[in-house]
Amino acid sequence: MLTMKGKYGLKALHYLSGIPEGTVAQSVEIAETYGMSKKFLDAILADLRNGGFVETRKGRSGGYRLAHRPEDIMVGHALRVLDGPLAPISCASRTAYQRCSDCTDEATCAVRLSMLEVREAIASVLDTKSLADMRSMVEAARLEQDEFLEIS
Amino acid sequence: MTHHIVIAGGGASGAIMAANLFRLGDGALRVTLVEASDEIGKGLAYLTTNPSHLFNVRSAQLSAFSGSPDHFDRWLAVHYPELTRNGPFVPRSIYGEYLEAALRETAPVGKLRIIRQACVGMRELENGVEVTLADGSSLPAHFAIVATGFGLKPESEGLLSNPWTDPLPENRDARVLVIGTGLTMVDTVLSLLDNGHKGKIVAVSRRGLVSQRHALHRPLQLSTADIPLGASIHYLSRWLTDLVRTHVKNGGDWRDVMDGMRPHIQTVWKNLPTESRQRFLRHAAAFWDVHRHRMPPAQATRIAAALESGQLEIVKGRFLSAERRGDRLFANVMRPGWYEPGPFKADIIYDCRGVRRRTDQELKGLVGALVESGAARLEKLGLGLEFDRNCALVNANGDASSRIFGIGPVTLGTFWESIAVPDIREQARQIAERITSGRRDVTRNSVARLP
């Protein structure tokens, strides 16, 4: 499930993938850009640092930057560190497993069996989409939007 | 058209490759196995004749074909029914015979040729591969497969004895030093005990860790969606230990988690950042190996008894060198907390170090020749040759070959786990399907390469 944390984390990574190489970004500027709470964002960035996706530089000119090239960081990989296993429903995961409170027979549950398949599909999309791919998607969408505005 | 495929190396990997080619190729191909020794299907692990040297994988997983998983068990029931009564772990010495039988069963008459020579080079041409042999002759082929194994020569180096080829000491009271405490040490100690050895055996390795014991368990059904791919090794190892802890708390066994990870290990390794791979090799690989590659119960019980009686002792220390003084050998071992190496007295020293971390040695034979000619390159950490995810050899420019592939331990540097039969037969199936499906696969691959 995509939580608020996952959503903000991906936005922060998207921001970091756009800053010039060799520079860092402070969490204040990321928080202001997307209108998030800085405190929440700092906790998210700490998790991403723990997972090895972002690095920090300390001191007055300190801040955050990506630990690898944007082509080498997959959206699905970062999302697992933010939100745990990729699963649309909590009984569809082995490691963060939670049984539904109203469940009578899990082994033959139609919803669960379908969601197990969905889980694999999510992984196959998000594990091949890098931060660089995400940037180009955004670029393409922007171009389309501009064209649309010009026509109308 | 009848394709001609040359396989360099006739050990277990080469034999499994050939059998899979015949099985999936509808008889429309010819295979040449190039193997310098007289044995087919018997590489480093399967040359042993000692029945105490067991597989550390259950017999149900040893079929040469992923498509018919009970192939080995059926052969076993016909030829060695008595072995099936001793539990699921059978001696390795019979595997070469099984692979020969699998080859006989799958190879159409006149389609398999075995050349008793070493392969010394491969050159990719526009329409095929030119394979050069030690006597200077060359073989034209449509495809070539490197199956040269660990690349360890079965010869002793200097004062160190080779556990697989050198004879056991005649003096039963000899003081034996074993370098390494992995599964090769286990096999060596069992050979010594089988031989009635009475003398002290000391095994030394940096961490002094001994392989864990196999036990009945139910592998956890993990999906890649569960595993934190691409995260740092620090994060990954904490995730794994947490998972083990939770699973054990819920009444499971840690082995369930290790074996649940097994199908995903190549994917995890592929996505692990380079510096994390380095950290893993330096700090965690030894711990991983003793939990991942376990001893069958029969072996574990004998090793535990030898440790209990004091005949076998495990010592932590780093082996530096060996020297001869008079008729005795001395090994220089740096022990933890010591400022200089202390000499260890021994009558015989066995070299049972692992295959993975010997990156200092120069590359010999075919592998060295491929790197020198630019047909291959080492992967980033220098653990071995680089292959793409379809087992195609990657050349000096970083391009994957469409005609030269690799299978088995020679691909270890790229895939991390490619030693055990279940991994090797899966590689064999992939390569065989790619070769035999011909043109269909070309289109499928170009689609896969799109961003």
Cβ of A119 within 8 Å of Cβ of B230? The answer is no
User: Tokens for B187?
Assistant: 């096999």
B187 dihedral zone (left: phi>0; alpha: psi -120 to 50; beta): alpha
Label residue B154 by pLDDT band (50, 70, 90). Answer: low
Contact A77/B at CB under 8 A: yes
Rounded Cα–Cα distance for residues B7 and A139 (Å)? 48
Give yes or no: residues B184 and B320 share one domain: yes
Burial class (CB within 10 angstroms; exposed 0-12, middle 13-18, buried 19+) of B176? buried
Give yes or no: residues B190 and B311 share one domain: yes
**Which pLDDT value is given to residue B438?**
63
Domain containing B423 equals 3-152+358-449
Indicate whether B444 pLDDT > 60.
no
Residue A52 has its nearest CB partner, among B220, B234, B243, at: B234
User: Which residue in B367, B414, B359 sits closest to B386, CA to CA?
Assistant: B414
Domain boundary among B246, B264, B292: B292
Give yes or no: residues B57 and B114 share one domain: yes
- Considering the entire predicted model, what is its pTM? 0.85
| Average pLDDT for chain B | 89
Contact A51/B at CB under 8 A: yes
Rounded Cα–Cα distance for residues A116 and B223 (Å)? 9
Indicate whether B363 pLDDT > 80.
no
User: Tokens for B128?
Assistant: 């095929």
Which of A7-16, B91-100, B283-292 comes out lowest in average pLDDT? B283-292
Start-end of H helices in B297-419: 297-309, 365-373, 412-415
Indicate whether B362 pLDDT > 80.
no
**Which pLDDT value is given to residue B442?**
41
Give yes or no: residues B195 and B336 share one domain: yes
Give the mean model confidence (pLDDT) for residues A56-83.
93
Q: What is the pLDDT of residues A23-41, one digit of tens each?
A: 999 999 999 999 999 999 9
Q: Which of B220, B222, B224, B245 to probe the A interface (max A CBs under 10 A)?
A: B224
Give yes or no: residues B203 and B328 share one domain: yes
Q: Tell whether B106 is covered by a domain.
A: yes
Give yes or no: residues B255 and B403 share one domain: no
Indicate whether B201 pLDDT > 90.
yes
Rounded Cα–Cα distance for residues B138 and B242 (Å)? 55
Give yes or no: residues B66 and B180 share one domain: no
Residue B225 has its nearest CB partner, among A51, A73, A122, at: A122
Query: Helices (H) and strands (E) in chain A — how many of each?
Result: 6, 2
Residue that has been written with the tokens 């505005």 in this structure: A149
Per CB-CB distance under 8 Å, the chain B contacts of A71 are none
Per CB-CB distance under 8 Å, the chain B contacts of A50 are 232, 234-235
- Domains in chain B, number: 3
Indicate whether B258 pLDDT > 80.
yes
Query: What CATH code is carried by the domain that includes residue B65?
Result: 3.50.50.60
* Cβ neighbour number for residue B4 with a 10 Å cutoff: 20
Label residue A130 by pLDDT band (50, 70, 90). Answer: very high
Chain B residues in contact with chain A using a Cβ-Cβ cutoff of 8 Å: 220-235, 239, 243, 260, 271, 273, 276, 451
**Which pLDDT value is given to residue B157?**
65
**Which pLDDT value is given to residue A43?**
96
| Average pLDDT for chain A | 90
User: Tokens for B291?
Assistant: 């939990």
Indicate whether B445 pLDDT > 50.
no
Which of A86-100, B100-114, B214-228 comes out lowest in average pLDDT? A86-100
More confident residue, B426 or B44: B426
Nearest-CA residue of chain A relative to B240?
A: A95
Rounded Cα–Cα distance for residues B109 and B86 (Å)? 36
**Which pLDDT value is given to residue B361?**
59
| In contact, B62 and B28? CB cutoff 8 Å | no
User: Which residue in B370, B369, B375 sits closest to B125, CA to CA?
Assistant: B375
Cβ of A119 within 8 Å of Cβ of B271? The answer is no
Q: Which of B221, B222, B226 to probe the A interface (max A CBs under 10 A)?
A: B226
Indicate whether B428 pLDDT > 50.
yes
Four-residue CA torsion sign, A17, A19, A21, A24:
negative
**Which pLDDT value is given to residue A58?**
86
Q: Tell whether B196 is covered by a domain.
A: yes
**Which pLDDT value is given to residue B416?**
84
Q: Tell whether B219 is covered by a domain.
A: no
Which of A97-111, B97-111, B331-345, B406-420 comes out lowest in average pLDDT? A97-111
Give yes or no: residues B121 and B202 share one domain: no
**Which pLDDT value is given to residue A96?**
76
Q: Which of B218, B223, B237, B244 to probe the A interface (max A CBs under 10 A)?
A: B223
Give the mean model confidence (pLDDT) for residues B30-55.
91
**Which pLDDT value is given to residue B443?**
38
Q: Which domains does chain A have, with CATH numbers?
A: 4-151 (1.10.10.10)
| In contact, B145 and B408? CB cutoff 8 Å | no
* Cβ neighbour number for residue B431 with a 10 Å cutoff: 23
Indicate whether B355 pLDDT > 80.
no
Indicate whether B174 pLDDT > 70.
yes
**Dihedral angle, C-alpha B99, B100, B105, B108, nearest 10 °:** 120
Q: What is the pLDDT of residues B60-89, one digit of tens each?
A: 999 999 999 999 999 999 999 999 888 899
Give yes or no: residues B306 and B419 share one domain: no
Tell me what percent of the residues of chain B surpass a pLDDT of 90.
69
Give the mean model confidence (pLDDT) for residues A8-16.
96
User: Which residue in B298, B295, B309, B305 sits closest to B200, CA to CA?
Assistant: B309
Give yes or no: residues B242 and B189 share one domain: no
Give yes or no: residues B29 and B115 share one domain: yes
Cβ of B235 within 8 Å of Cβ of A81? The answer is yes
Residue A133 has its nearest CB partner, among B225, B229, B451, at: B451
Domain boundary among B243, B260, B292: B292
Indicate whether B449 pLDDT > 90.
no
Label residue B440 by pLDDT band (50, 70, 90). Answer: very low
User: Which residue in B236, B202, B215, B225 sits closest to B342, CA to CA?
Assistant: B202
